[in-house]
Amino acid sequence: MSNVKKVTTDTFRKDVIESDKPVIVDFWAEWCGPCKKLSPILEEVAEELDGQVTVAKVNVDEERNLGAMFQIMSIPNVLIFNHGEKVDEFVGLRSKDDIVAQVKKQL
C-alpha cells in the first residue's frame, strides 16, 4: 500500500495547510516522463520518513486550480510545506538522499 496521499482542491487545506507535520507536495501529470521517474523515489521517501512527513501528489491535469494557485509552470514541481506555509521547492528530478536532506531541514 502506498504511503503517498492523493490531494485535490477539496482536500488541500486539510491535508497540507492544516497538517501538523511537513508535507511534500508533488505536482505531476500522467504524461510527464520525469514525473514517472520521480514517483518511486517519493514512495521511498514516504516510507523512510513515515510518521515524520506526509508525501502528497497533485495531478495538475485534474487539479488545474491548485496548479494555477502555486504558479506551477514546469513539472515535476515539488513544494514543501511546514505549518501551512511553503518553505521550499524544487523542479525536476532529485535523488532520494537530496529530497530527504531537504525535508529534514523542516523536522
Please give the positions annotated as active site: 32, 35
Which cell numbers hold the place of 31?
A: 504524461
Which cell numbers hold the place of 50?
A: 513515515
Which cell numbers hold the place of 53?
A: 512527513
**Residue 64 β-bridge partners:** none
Pairing between β-strand 85-91 and β-strand 77-82 as defined by DSSP bridges: antiparallel
Contact 38, 28 (CB under 8 A): yes
Cell 511553503: give the residue.
86
